[in-house]
Each structure stands twice: as structure tokens, then as C-alpha cells.
Structure 1
């Protein structure tokens, strides 16, 4: 017997439904040609509404099933719709699926699909199309989509508008994964037609159609005139208010922000902390911020590397690093200090960890003394003729001032006799894969606490191709992570992840540093910009006021 989680879409009259089918529903436009923005400007001769949005980095691919970049998601979320939509309270509503049932054993989900949808190329949206997307994802074997699907087993067509997805075991984050843009639904025809080049020719059912991509310059999308199935989180129910959405790729910080200040562009992402107060005082501009949910930026210990395999040595570092000073100095009050590896907006965030770890140089020195590390003539501790060194690996191009964090940590640990050797490099393959590091900084994005599975499970070690940078292999933590992924009782699930976070802090597995606020500067003429649960911008409701 199955537990029904049915959600009915809004009822329409027979006439309206027939018209919707003729117009290709929410996904497509008649024919497969490209629509120009002048079509949607109207007969009145009004200027097209064009939003130019400056990105700090370039997408790797616009193939949702193959990409692993957050910046890619910001672009292709506008091209693709998902089967379900996750609300701010964590619940789920229909999107391309009208309803679904979950089996009693939690190992399968059966989705009823909308019957009035076509892709931008005219291909019908149906169960075969959904199956083709899962086949595409697992044939590529890359990107964020595979971990979001967890123990995926198969996608089977029941009938034209019904698909059954089977798992090898219960997986509570499954619906959350399906709601992500990384599992947005692509046209099976386009996937087959473009092959390896599909990432440069994306075709979905969403409010915007792909037009062009000039490498390291701009990506142009235009409105889908027939769109009428926006997510339930949106106020808009028809085509986008924007005629065109142009993403300009401008890595240089001053140029990117300057484009908005000068009026050359209407919006720009990733505003540096030192400019936020300046822009807030500009009467023509507005600053919007949204916490990026998932894991806070944290420094992960390699718990297999001596002497940091000793919890007392790790705690000495934990106590010697003054996180408040780092965050206040570098971010000028614009970033929130992190207390847990999870961000505060996450299900199961352990608020009891706030204020539990404060700098204590005296105790840090005491721990190192107890471990037999004595000060040398140069101030660096030594033991058995070996200096106490910590290899700090930082792979980012000073993203969010992470290189500066490394430099400050180096100075702070010098006070307790630890010599920090910085390795600031984009090439992490050799040091990571060989375990040649002691401390590694990173953050991840996901709307479910199961993200800790990728960071802590013993079968996800980075030296074996996973993302467990701490090299932790604790059977009890493996067991808790498995329970957390399968537990359907919300309160029990929260308690499991609270326990895991406490373990990470008590055992100094990681040192949380900051919670990243995705910051956008835009003209006050731009209204309706919102953010999803991941902290990514949503443009479907955006309007440009003169």
C-alpha cells in the first residue's frame, strides 16, 4: 500500500486546457526557430525589457545534468524547470509533476506529470523525456546531479505521463534533490542531437530560451512567450516580464561593480565587503543579500596526517585561531561568523554550538606542551628533532578573501609555535590525491543536511576521488549519516544531524569560519529579484521600472 502525497494543479476549463495544448503549454513555442526580443516588445513600440546581469565567473556547462558549478546553476535555472519545487519551510509542491506517491518502504516514487508542456524545440514533455534525462545523467557520470540522486536505481516509464523512480534504499533528501536546477529537465531530442556539445546548446521548458554563448563574454537568453507553469514560489504565472536576460561574464571586481554604478549594466553579483556600504549610500542602487545554504566555509583537518591525527593537536589549532578577528577584519561586518559546518538556514542546524568555541591561546599552548612539542630557538615547536608544521592548502583564486584567511591563520598559529606552510594553488590534484595536506578550506551548497555525507563518510575519502577532505573514517559517524539519509521523522532527523555537528566541533574535525552571503548590487529600477533556498538569484518575477 502506498502513502499518497497528491497535490492537484489548479483546475482549468476545457477551453483553456485546449488552448494551452495548442500553444505548447509552459515549455515551448510553436516551431523550433529562435524568437527575437522584438516579438515580445509588443505592437506598441515599447523598448524590450532587457536585464544585464554581471557574473564573476564563467559557467563550465549549461547542461544541468553535467555541471558542477554554482554559476552555471544561476544561468540554466532560467532555462529548465524541475519536477518538484521546495518551499522555504522545507515542504514540496508540484511543478512539472502534478502529484506523486512514495512507497511504504521508501524505495520508490511514482510521479504523475503535466500533459500540457513542450520543450523549447517543440518536443513533448512526458515520462519518456524524464527517463531520457536520468539516462543522460548516469551516462556522463559527472556534475552535481548524481550525488543529489543518492541511491538511484532506475527510472521506468509506467505510461505516457507517469514515471516511477526506484532507489536501492530509502533516501529522504531525494525530493530536495529533484527540486534543484541541477536536476532540471532537458529536451531528449536536444541531448541526442548535440551530444557532447549539449552544454553549449541547452533546451528546457523554462521561462527563458537559450540564444547564444560567447565564451568568456556573455550568455543571452530570451523569454518563452508561451510559458505558463512557473514554480509555486513565484508570483508570476505567465511569461517572464523580461524580454531578454543577458549574463555578462566580468571576473574583474572593479569592472563588474563599476558596470552597475555607471548604468552600463543593471545588476552584478558578488559585491566585495569594502564596497557594500558605499553602494548602500548610492540612491540609484540597491543591495540584496541571501545566505548560501549548505556548509559554511570551514577549514578541514586531514585527520590521517600526523600529528593532526591527535584530537588534542587539532584542538590546539581550533583554540589558537581567532575566527572573530578574521571575519571582522576581512568582511567588515558584512559576513556572519560560522559556528557549525552547516549554515544556520539548514534543517538540523545545531544552534547550541553558537559561542561554544572561543580563542584560548593559553589552553592551546598547554595542549601542545602536553603532547611534547617544545619551543625551539626560532619560536617554532619541535619534537624528536622535527618541527611542528601544518600544511595549509588553499585552492581558490582568493575567492571571498580565502587566501587572506590563510595568511591570518598563519600568523595566529605562529603565536603558539606552529609553522604554517601555505600552498595557494589551483591545482589540488597532487596534494589532495596523495594526502599531502593538513588543512583544507572549502564550502558546499545544498538545501539538505545530507551534504555532510559527502564530507564525512568513510567511503568518500578525497584520496579516493570523494569529497571527505578530513579523511575521517568513524563507523559511528557512518552509521549516523546513514540513519539521517533514511529517517522520515523530521525531529529525529534533526537530532541526528545536530549530533554529527557537535561531534565535528568537539573533535575539531573542522574549524568553521564564515557563512557566505551571496550579494547582488542592482539598479532600483530592477524589482522582484528573489533568491531560492540555495541562495541563488531568481529572475522569473523580475520587472524593470522606468
Structure 2
């Protein structure tokens, strides 16, 4: 790990948490489409939000999906959050952390006026319990994010001290996501592994019911510390994978908000006076993951897989060269997204210092030569798992047709999204199309996925050089040097061709004009704390 001076480390951590690092767009208007709607609302009523998939486990330590994060936004607050400018702000903490000179000790003050949905009080001990569970629970998707955490202790009823193994610049950004969600210790003790069916956090709404594949129901929590700003009586989240059906339900009024709307549906909604469109720039990416060593599941030591794409990087490069990112954006996404070929979004905390990654152009001739050089039998057969949405199906069909010209025979396997995650986590796949909603600090887009045995490394990728660069990027304080590290890291990841970045979404949501107070920020979440029906 590259050495840094003590003063520089502390300055870098302070810079990150001070709010100076933010999304590059600070306006509430993006491309003429609103991120927020501040019209007055009345009290009462239930809001129905349509999701494009059924969320996975409602357990902050284990959950992996964006739709799950949207549900958590209604019921599980975090130590920190981001605002519409992408600035990190306190939520369950009362202030931004203080950091020791060597960057290894971080102190977080905790709210004194908050209760969990089960009526028990939030305090420092509860924060300690949750942070240790996020770090240590078997199969925790937060383990990689909190791996640098050596100890965490309550130094007072409402003060938490985190001691780190080494300086960890992304920490506060990590605590602004699921790793910063605090769960009721009483509920954790009572329900154990079944906490996912009885989640209890601090939030504007509390969990009441889940019917798998149909709905998740929350009701207003009267004990919420800021209950005065909560206008709705409740919110229902309904998984509706088909965007056309979501749009039809918006038109009929059966739902009031449609999340992650497809470009074709957004264009239609823009012409309708009773519908309004929100969007924000994305911090994440959409990709195709290839199984190069996941034989025992997440967290296990990578092994050998006897498939052409796993055996030879030239086959994986050939597959990537068969793809035309710009054409995919035009044909599948109405030219409303952006081609992408790396994990770092233009809205990332360090994006201004990172050189733009040049996406490889489609080159069928070179792809065919690589397959010949690799000595593989053509067509190379592989199965590509895609989710069951029409948009994912179209994406898969275009990739299938493009790859065929280069010497691949792809079988598409439409799979319900939560099941897709379970199967790919277990290593039961050749390739799968998925994505990541993104984090402000680039480490949140990289470490858990690309580090050896990372918490969400479903690809079985293991490269000591990548591991070293991840560690260096986490500890490096100087922004210019950190940008250089992520330049090198992006190139190294690209050379492995195990995670092929294809496009970067914009976060689109559609709501009826009868609803206001909805907020859509760069993390892609639909926030409904202040939402309500117009007066």
C-alpha cells in the first residue's frame, strides 16, 4: 500500500465528508426534467409505487437490489444520506464525522430523538450492533465495504467511535448507503435469520406486510422523529416488471409512481398532461458479467471453470468486441442512455480527475481472429441470463444478434430478477446482464465486485494487481494520485473482460400530477418521505 502523510489522510477524509465532493450537476432540473416537485400537499392517503422487479431480502446486511434500496428509503434511514446535489448530509447522525489526524479513528454523533419502528430507542449501542452485523454476518453484502473497520464502540450513549485498520477515504460514502442503516437490536435478537420478514429500522414508514411477487406495504410510523414532514398514511410497493403495464397503471391511476421507467415509456409520458417525469444522472452502470471462476458461490475461493470464456481471456475480449455500445443505446434505449465501458460515472466524486475511458469500437474481424487464435470451436456457445422485463429482453436479443456475427451462439435465459441474483451469486451461469445503481465514491462501484472474494464478486475474478489497486485507492488521500490509481484500475479491469460495462442509465421515474414531494437523486432511489397528494 502506498504510504501517505498523516495530515493529508485526515484532510482527504474531511474533504469527502464536508460536502465539497458532490455530483457534478447541482441543479434540480436535468435536461428540463425535474428531480423534485415542491408543490404543497395535503395529509392523508396511500401512495402506490410500481417497481420494475420484486426486491430481494428486506435485510440491509444481505440485500443487493436497487428496488430493495427504494423500499429501504421509506423505512430504513442511514447514518448519512445524499441530497439533490449529491452532497453527503447527516441523517441518523447529528453531524458529519470527526476524523483523527492519522485517518484511522472516526467519531460519529448519533441522534437522541429517534425510535425504531418497534418502539425501542436508537442509541450508540444500536449503531455498534448494526455495523458489526454488516461486517461479520455470513453472506453479508456489506462485508467488503466494512472490511477496513477494526473495532466499533460506543464511547457514550450517543457517540460511536470507529477504529480503522488503515485510512479509508470512502467510509462516509459507505455509511450513506446500506452499511449505514441501523436496525433494531431487539428485532434482530427476536427474529434472527427471519429479520428479513420483520424488518425494523428508523424511518418515516414502518413495515406491515409483504406478499411475495405482489406487494410490500408500509404505514406511517407515528414515532418517527420528524413525523411532521410525513404526509402520507402509507405506501405500497408493487413489482410490475413490464414497463408498458406500469405506464398503463399510471394512466388509470391505479399506481401513482412508476420507478425505473424505460425510455420508450418516458417519451410517451412526456406527452401526457396528467403525468410528470423525473430524472437524475446515474452514478452506476449496466453490464454483462462473465463467470470466470465462481464455482462455489459468493465469498468462496475462485476455482477453474471449463468453458471457453472462463479459460481464455481472448474469447472474452472477442465477445466484447462483438458489441456495439452506441447502436445498443440507439436501438434499445432510444438514445436516452450513454455508452459506458468502465465503473466510474461522470458524476463520481473523483470523476474530474479521471481520464475518460475510451470504449472499444465493435470489430467483428478482430473478434473472429481472437477466437481462431484461442483455438476454440465456433460458434462458441454460451447462455446469457437476462431479467424478465421487455427492455432486458430487447437488450439480450440485440447482444445475441451482434455476437452471432462474431462467432458466438448465445441462448437467452429470461429469469425473474431476484432469482437471477441468487443463481449468479451461486455461480450457476455463463453470463448475465445486470447493473449497479452506483455510489458517489468510485470504491463503491468497484471493491465489492472486483476484489478477490468480494462480497458481490459473482464472477469469480481474482487478480492480485486489482486487489492492490483497490487497497491503494481506499487509502490514498491525494485526489490527483487517487485519480491515477483509478485510471490504472479501470484499465486493469478492462483487460480481464470479466465484467463488461455496456451503458449508463439515467434514472427515470414517472408520477401522476396528483402527487408532489417525490424526490429522485443521483443514487436512483425514489424518496417519498415528503410525498403526498396535492391540495
1:457 aligns with 2:451: yes
**Residue 364 of structure 2: aligned partner:** 361
**Residue 44 of structure 2: aligned partner:** 48
1:194 aligns with 2:187: no
**Residue 320 of structure 2: aligned partner:** 318
> Structure 1's 290 and 392: CA in aligned 2 closer, same or farther, altered over 3 A?
farther
**Residue 498 of structure 1: aligned partner:** 487
Please tell me whether the aligned partners of residues 120 and 205 of structure 1 are also in contact (alpha carbons under 8 angstroms).
yes
Q: Deviations over 1:319-370 (max 9, x none)?
A: 332222222111222332223233332234487446552223344455556x
**Residue 258 of structure 2: aligned partner:** 268
Q: 1:481 aligns with which of 470, 482, 503?
A: 470
**Residue 66 of structure 1: aligned partner:** 62
1:280 aligns with 2:270: yes
**Residue 204 of structure 1: aligned partner:** 201
> Structure 1's 366 and 353: CA in aligned 2 closer, same or farther, altered over 3 A?
farther
Q: How far apart are the structure 2 equivalents of 1:269 and 1:422?
A: 29
My pick for the range that moved more, 428-437 or 203-212, is 428-437
Larger radius of gyration: 1
**Residue 17 of structure 1: aligned partner:** none
Quote the offset at 1:313 in angstroms. Answer: 4.8
Quote the offset at 1:262 in angstroms. Answer: 0.6
**Residue 437 of structure 2: aligned partner:** 445
> Which residues of 2 match residues 116-127 of structure 1 at below 5 A?
116-127=113-124
Unaligned runs of 5+ in 1: 9-45, 230-236, 374-382
Q: Deviations over 1:114-168 (max 9, x none)?
A: 2222223332221112122234435642343333323233321212112212233
**Residue 101 of structure 2: aligned partner:** 104
Please tell me whether the aligned partners of residues 183 and 201 of structure 2 are also in contact (alpha carbons under 8 angstroms).
yes
Query: Residue 238 of structure 2 aligns to a residue in which SS?
Result: strand
Q: How far apart are the structure 1 equivalents of 2:462 and 2:57?
A: 32
Q: Deviations over 1:149-189 (max 9, x none)?
A: 23233321212112212233332222111111453112222
> Structure 1's 149 and 226: CA in aligned 2 closer, same or farther, altered over 3 A?
same
**Residue 153 of structure 1: aligned partner:** 150
Q: Deviations over 1:38-92 (max 9, x none)?
A: xxxxxxxx87232221223223333323323322221122212221234566653
> Structure 1's 136 and 365: CA in aligned 2 closer, same or farther, altered over 3 A?
closer
Q: How far apart are the structure 2 equivalents of 1:211 and 1:150?
A: 33
Quote the offset at 1:483 in angstroms. Answer: 0.3
TM-score, normalised by the number of residues in structure 2: 0.78
**Residue 337 of structure 1: aligned partner:** 339
Q: How far apart are the structure 2 equivalents of 1:341 and 1:72?
A: 21
Q: How far apart are the structure 2 equivalents of 1:320 and 1:47?
A: 54
> Structure 1's 63 and 494: CA in aligned 2 closer, same or farther, altered over 3 A?
same
Query: Residue 129 of structure 2 aligns to a residue in which SS?
Result: helix
Quote the offset at 1:487 in angstroms. Answer: 1.3
Q: How far apart are the structure 1 equivalents of 2:403 and 2:368?
A: 10
Q: How far apart are the structure 2 equivalents of 1:204 and 1:470?
A: 33
> Structure 1's 345 and 122: CA in aligned 2 closer, same or farther, altered over 3 A?
same
Q: How far apart are the structure 2 equivalents of 1:316 and 1:196?
A: 43
Q: Deviations over 1:351-391 (max 9, x none)?
A: 7446552223344455556x2x7xxxxxxxxx4xx523434
Quote the offset at 1:539 in angstroms. Answer: 1.0
> Structure 1's 534 and 278: CA in aligned 2 closer, same or farther, altered over 3 A?
same
Query: Residue 190 of structure 1 aligns to a residue in which SS?
Result: helix
- CA RMSD, aligned part only? 3.5
Unaligned runs of 5+ in 2: 1-5, 19-41, 294-303
1:222 aligns with 2:219: yes
**Residue 376 of structure 1: aligned partner:** none
TM-score, normalised by the number of residues in structure 1: 0.77
Q: How far apart are the structure 1 equivalents of 2:266 and 2:86?
A: 30
> Structure 1's 470 and 142: CA in aligned 2 closer, same or farther, altered over 3 A?
closer
Q: How many residues align?
A: 483
Q: 2:405 aligns with which of 409, 415, 440?
A: 415
> Which residues of 2 match residues 357-396 of structure 1 at below 5 A?
357-365=360-368, 367=370, 371=373, 383=375, 387-396=377-386
Query: Residue 142 of structure 1 aligns to a residue in which SS?
Result: coil
Query: Residue 503 of structure 1 aligns to a residue in which SS?
Result: helix
Query: Residue 81 of structure 1 aligns to a residue in which SS?
Result: coil
> Structure 1's 359 and 346: CA in aligned 2 closer, same or farther, altered over 3 A?
same
**Residue 461 of structure 2: aligned partner:** 471
> Which residues of 2 match residues 502-541 of structure 1 at below 5 A?
502-505=491-494, 508=497, 510-541=499-530
Q: Deviations over 1:400-424 (max 9, x none)?
A: 63444343333323334x1324262
